[in-house]
Structure 1
């Protein structure tokens, strides 16, 4: 009430009220008493209580708006991380996977089917003329079963034929079978067995490279002197050099070593292996094994793009899209994404769909956006068949959740989130927890929701510690503010929001402003502004148009008349009639 009494409109109304009250009291007292400030008047208690109730209701409504569910897109980066496609799972499909003989393109269905029959004839009917030809035919059968080329996809058959080829000494069969076990591709994961097969393949590749060079080039790669000694790539074994780099990069069968991986990639690139340029660019981009250098990354991406590497198209699009290492240019980004889209790069289709919908770098076209979303979804689903991974599963879940290229389907989204959460992806765990908490698409289960929230919170904190990220900091703040998987702590939440806001996160800055508004009483001030307007309106309506004073209360006038009569005063017809 003290704050109300300070507002100009209320002060004016109360002044007029006090004047009327003093005039009335003067009829009976020589020295009327001052009635005091507004907040002491019992007549205003009802108004005060109404204002308090309204302020509380407004505060609750505002708090409810703060705790409203956040969208999936606000929690997951709109673009995939550069690291997601560092070594594309499906690149081998179009790569020179066999140094002896290239695989036929997918679209030549009749050729693929004929090739399957030829391989089957060599393996089953004994048409192979040598042990090498038999091993190679077994390997090719495994590849065709693995990718479903010329025959229906069957991981069990692929594993069997890879195994038979590996027993025959086929190095690539050992490597492919090792990856199936390492990553659980179509079969039960067995890291130990996978490591064993990959390690055998690694040393087979090393021996083949040594034979081509006439010396153990690997020892110079290991001690870091390979280029100082004047050695360069060898075209005849460029793909093997790339494979060695990939194995060092991913830690397949051997300990992960970025420095050695970069050297192998560089040798492969010098030997004209196009995709190795892309891999070097990724390492420059992320500062893996070499100092982070966006300029060198751009140079290597362009070298790969000149060789028509589809992933380089996409990577260049990302750089122009985000303005990383180059001046931001959405039009150029759209051009690069379009090239990648023509080569069926799923993330390029997804980003193009977003740009079409928003009119970024291209004309706004919701119809084309829908087509691109559907194309991206089909590609994600196909990739998932070949090699399940959390990044694709999370993206698929988001598309079902928000109806991107498909009808909204929370139940289907929850299925993909479950798969992704099993791979310990914290973003999937967070989103699944929210759905379990509300019962959206799944049976409501607050205990499971709490478990997933806790896992997600711990993972977010760990990831941010390893590599600070404003999006993660914002999510951590959300979880602390609302007690999701962790004890509620608004003070700590503000610190995380502040860190994210300092890094340019607009959502975090907005959240800080909302909390500040609540803490400084903005809700009550909103009510006061409403009351000021109301009080002004009331004052204008009850003022007498002649005297500009309030009309006297009829009950007070009745008491005044009765007092006058009691003191012998006779009613005068000229007195104001009631």
Structure 2
């Protein structure tokens, strides 16, 4: 028997649903609408999907009048809640969902529980949510006894995983995910892979994670495609392969996966596993930014501001920067994060997406620095030292510099980054947070230069030139003293030739004063 591929099955299903829809079979209208909406087995057509959804809704309501049925009511509820074929109507959707719950429909109870847990369309009420989850779990377990089904097993697994309606239990969750995955549930296969990846409820196994991610990806699960992309990119559980990573990112991106779109854009931007294509990167960053992803918006701001290989557009850059900073602030309110706070601070400092505001920048750097982010500690100390947006306080700045260099040195133990080696070298040279030590500074500059940092090599050259000149000056000073002691008024051109070069000294001093450590 020749195996039928998944895309072929979907196409055949679409053909059967089309025939049934022509005979006014309500469920066929509903499923065909989903397929046109997602472009599964047919060419995507949102307008036709809307018409089919409207037809299905009318048929479902009429059908329920004649013969009330919880499954039909559940579909109607979700069509109103999600606005399928119409404007969303949360009130009407909630009414139908509650009717369904009265019939002890486990899926409806599960969904309403989630709404009460999040406060989505109803007052937030964790007690009521858990009560509904508990009823839903009992219903799912009863259904599973009567007729084992992948979607039921998946729901049970999810409830154990998140502790909804029961005690949180990773082991039980894993067992149920495997049951559902082996019956072909694509997202259960993804969750099984995730459990192996994290070692949650089972022994950690990257090879098993890869195996289950591949199964889920073949079934069209975008999340699995994205995770596979990361594993190939980072060489976890598989040999590192940037080309395969990009292909998985691209496949997930085409299915609308937000983070995969960002990853695909980054690959195109750097040429990792694919030919470098700035315009292609911009296109995917735009797709991602439309989903209100602030990181994508920020990248677009950087690209349009720089104008490298695309037309420079400062107005468009500021528009995307503005989207980015608003998004970052919103993210940080929900879940404070040192890295995001640092990025917000940098945008206030530079005036990207907002008016330049040193006081606001100092405040955000301070918040991030308090979370032990060494980069923010460095920037905040620098602002205190220069009196930017905050009073000058040399002692305070040195204490914060000390915390920053301690953090940098810990990072360098795990990752000898060229730019960070250069920064630490500058801190030793300038005595920022640590006793000034030119010898140690040169060691860090040498390491940074070996890793490809051109600024470190330039600094080494400047230090060498300065030291050579200083040595010549010392020798000539001794020679002049010797001549003077002999009472000789020799005015040899040789002494002029090796006289201390004041211009070089002045240039070196200017460089030291102007060099930005930020």
TM bucket, shorter chain:
0.5 to 0.7
Mapped pair 1:379 → 2:327:
yes
Q: Give how far 1:370 is off.
A: 0.8
Mapped pair 1:265 → 2:242:
no
**Which range is displaced more, 336-345 or 108-117?**
108-117
From the superposition, tell whether residues 526 and 118 of structure 1 become closer, same or farther in structure 2 (CA, over 3 Å). farther
Aligned counterpart in structure 2 of residue 207 of structure 1, from 175, 182, 187? 175
Structure 1 partner of 2:318: 370
From the superposition, tell whether residues 466 and 362 of structure 1 become closer, same or farther in structure 2 (CA, over 3 Å). same
Aligned counterpart in structure 1 of residue 88 of structure 2, from 88, 111, 136? 111
Aligned counterpart in structure 2 of residue 466 of structure 1, from 404, 407, 414? 414
What SS is found at the alignment partner of 1:468?
coil
Whole-angstrom distance in 2 between the partners of 1:431 and 1:116: 51
Aligned counterpart in structure 2 of residue 297 of structure 1, from 215, 231, 245? 245
1:537-565 deviation line (CA, Å, top 9, x unaligned): xxxxxxxxxxxxxxxxxxxxxxxxxxxxx
Equivalent pair of 1:268/1:276 in contact (CA under 8 Å): yes
Aligned counterpart in structure 1 of residue 224 of structure 2, from 251, 276, 285? 276
What are the within-5 Å matches in structure 2 for residues 444-459 of structure 1?
446=394, 448-459=396-407
* Aligned-residue CA RMSD (Å): 4.0
Equivalent pair of 2:171/2:202 in contact (CA under 8 Å): no
Equivalent pair of 2:196/2:204 in contact (CA under 8 Å): yes
From the superposition, tell whether residues 529 and 415 of structure 1 become closer, same or farther in structure 2 (CA, over 3 Å). closer
Equivalent pair of 2:97/2:108 in contact (CA under 8 Å): no
From the superposition, tell whether residues 274 and 505 of structure 1 become closer, same or farther in structure 2 (CA, over 3 Å). same
Equivalent pair of 1:429/1:455 in contact (CA under 8 Å): yes
Aligned counterpart in structure 2 of residue 409 of structure 1, from 349, 353, 357? 357
Whole-angstrom distance in 2 between the partners of 1:387 and 1:364: 34
Mapped pair 1:502 → 2:450:
yes
Equivalent pair of 1:165/1:173 in contact (CA under 8 Å): no
Q: Where in structure 2 are there 5+ consecutive unaligned residues?
A: 1-73, 138-155, 474-498, 507-518
Equivalent pair of 1:497/1:509 in contact (CA under 8 Å): yes
1:494-542 deviation line (CA, Å, top 9, x unaligned): 22222222222233233333333432338986536999xxxxxxxxxxx
Whole-angstrom distance in 2 between the partners of 1:254 and 1:454: 43
Alignment TM-score, normalising by the size of structure 1: 0.57
Q: Give how far 1:476 is off.
A: 2.0
From the superposition, tell whether residues 484 and 166 of structure 1 become closer, same or farther in structure 2 (CA, over 3 Å). farther
Whole-angstrom distance in 1 between the partners of 2:292 and 2:324: 8
Whole-angstrom distance in 1 between the partners of 2:363 and 2:503: 50
Aligned counterpart in structure 1 of residue 305 of structure 2, from 357, 361, 374? 357
Larger relative helix fraction:
2
Whole-angstrom distance in 2 between the partners of 1:300 and 1:255: 26
Q: Give how far 1:117 is off.
A: 4.4
Q: Give how far 1:122 is off.
A: 7.3
From the superposition, tell whether residues 327 and 210 of structure 1 become closer, same or farther in structure 2 (CA, over 3 Å). closer
Mapped pair 1:479 → 2:427:
yes
Aligned counterpart in structure 2 of residue 341 of structure 1, from 281, 284, 289? 289
Equivalent pair of 1:162/1:173 in contact (CA under 8 Å): no
Structure 1 partner of 2:380: 432
Q: Give how far 1:422 is off.
A: 3.9
Q: Give how far 1:314 is off.
A: 1.9
Equivalent pair of 2:173/2:201 in contact (CA under 8 Å): no
Mapped pair 1:139 → 2:107:
no
Q: Where in structure 1 are there 5+ consecutive unaligned residues?
A: 1-99, 179-195, 215-233, 532-578
From the superposition, tell whether residues 316 and 486 of structure 1 become closer, same or farther in structure 2 (CA, over 3 Å). same
Q: Give how far 1:172 is off.
A: 4.0
**Which range is displaced more, 289-298 or 130-139?**
130-139
Structure 2 partner of 1:516: 464
What are the within-5 Å matches in structure 2 for residues 122-201 of structure 1?
127=102, 129-130=104-105, 133-143=108-118, 145=119, 150=121, 157=124, 169=137, 172=158, 175=161, 200=169
Q: Give how far 1:367 is off.
A: 0.8
Aligned counterpart in structure 1 of residue 389 of structure 2, from 425, 441, 454? 441
Larger radius of gyration, structure 1 or 2?
1
From the superposition, tell whether residues 528 and 207 of structure 1 become closer, same or farther in structure 2 (CA, over 3 Å). closer
Equivalent pair of 1:120/1:141 in contact (CA under 8 Å): no
Name the structure, 1 or 2, with higher relative contact order (CA <8 Å, separation 6+). Answer: 1
From the superposition, tell whether residues 355 and 107 of structure 1 become closer, same or farther in structure 2 (CA, over 3 Å). farther
Q: Give how far 1:279 is off.
A: 1.4
Q: Give how far 1:326 is off.
A: 3.7
1:44-97 deviation line (CA, Å, top 9, x unaligned): xxxxxxxxxxxxxxxxxxxxxxxxxxxxxxxxxxxxxxxxxxxxxxxxxxxxxx
